[in-house]
Structure 1
Amino acid sequence: MKLYLTCMECFSGDHWSYPAELQDSGLYTLECRHGHKTNISLQNHRYEVLFELGLNAILDGYYREAISSFTSSLERFYEHAINVICIGHDISVEQRDEVWKMVSAQSERQYGAFSYLYLFGCKDIPPKLPRSKIELRNNVVHKGKIATKAQAIAYGEAVMGVVLPVLARLEQQYSDAIQTLVWEHLANIREASDKVSRPVTMNVGSILSNMENSLTLEEKIGSIQKTRKHYQWVESNFA
């Protein structure tokens, strides 16, 4: 999976985009063909990026890897939801970080923390993966099962079926907390990149964001395929 970055200095007159490999830090350094240098922070949360990795894996025929990425995305979404609800109830960063250390090593503990916080914060029982999808995940991740394309797509749809309703509920009840978490995320990127100037912010289209969550999973895969073909054509004709 690649991101396509745009130079902010020549954006108005030159819409050339530059491919970049994903960075765990969320920080990207771009030097365009005119010599302008730009530092870019990726605003998308980790759970969004991991889900997009799963979609790209399906497109490339790596169905086992797609299920693994979707699983990681769901786990990081639980963390995201925990932080949103805690912020909404005035829990400080320091308190959240200290308690997170107690559960960070085990996904089951994180899921338990999410379930109870969602019940407390939203007064409702959170959606969960169907038993059949949990068994598929365990067989793929822990037993080396080779998944099919249909299984990978169905699993991704099941993860969306958990994330999107919770995300909509959080946006309804905790919109300010969500924005605070975005600023925390960007501040963490800036703090880790103190050797570069203040980066500009970029947000890429994600099926788990407001920008594109009306798409079905297969429609989003088709959109990714079209985008790839476009940039491949541009690179081959204008490189």
Structure 2
Amino acid sequence: MKLNFNCSHCLSDNETVNNSLIEIRDDNFYQITCDKGHVSHFYIQNLKFELLFDAGSMALIDGYPNAAVAYISSSLERLHEFCIHVYSKVNDIDDDIFKKNWKYFNNSSERQLGAFLNSFMLFEQSTLKFDLQKYS
């Protein structure tokens, strides 16, 4: 997925607006150089799962259901990762330990779901209530 950025210098000078499409980055910092050589820096506050969900919604609206499913399922995986990271922060788990441990889950949706469910249980002292039979 790509994000659309406008050159802030061209916008402020009432010049022709130059658009740039840039791939989503994990650090949310973006730099563009427009056709006129202006350099602009952007920081997006939205989390990756939010951007992916928005992309999935737009794909669905535009009539691309397969792309919508891919984006929204990726969004859910990033949401699970975010929740597990928050639970780790609450329990004062070092970022390096989190990153090393996350490598075991990174490439498997089922493992990520299991990690999320277990993290939820440990943090909330209860199970997440949903019916797996509905989805199988």
* Fold equivalence (TM over 0.5): yes
Partner in structure 2 of residue 37 of structure 1: 39
More strand by share: 2
TM-score normalised to the size of structure 2? Answer: 0.76
On the 8 A contact 2:83/2:116 being kept in 1, the answer is yes
Give the C-alpha shift of residue 122 in structure 1.
2.7
Give the C-alpha shift of residue 62 in structure 1.
0.7
Distance of 1:98 and 1:119 partners within structure 2: 22
TM-score normalised to the size of structure 1? Answer: 0.47
On the 8 A contact 1:3/1:21 being kept in 2, the answer is yes
AA partner of residue 19 (structure 1): N
For structure 1, the residue ranges without an aligned partner over 5 or more in a row are 136-239
For structure 2, the residue ranges without an aligned partner over 5 or more in a row are none
| SS of residue matched to 1:39 | strand
CA deviation digits over 1:8-28, x for unaligned, max 9?
A: 557667598653324143443
1:116 paired with 2:105, answer: no
Distance of 2:83 and 2:33 partners within structure 1: 36
Query: Would you say how many aligned residue pairs link Structure 1 and Structure 2?
Result: 134
- Over the matched positions of the two proteins, sequence identity in percent amounts to 30
Distance of 2:49 and 2:17 partners within structure 1: 24
Distance of 2:23 and 2:64 partners within structure 1: 21
Q: Using CA pairs below 8 Å that are at least 6 residues apart, which structure has the higher relative contact order?
A: 1
Distance of 1:2 and 1:105 partners within structure 2: 22
Distance of 1:121 and 1:101 partners within structure 2: 21
On the 8 A contact 1:119/1:126 being kept in 2, the answer is yes
- Cα–Cα, structure 1 residues 95 and 29, in superposed 2: closer, same or farther, change >3 Å? same
On the 8 A contact 1:82/1:117 being kept in 2, the answer is yes
AA partner of residue 21 (structure 1): L
Q: Say which of 72, 85, 88 aligns to 2:87.
A: 85
AA partner of residue 99 (structure 2): D
AA partner of residue 54 (structure 2): E
On the 8 A contact 1:5/1:20 being kept in 2, the answer is yes
Give the C-alpha shift of residue 95 in structure 1.
0.7
CA RMSD of aligned residues (A): 3.0
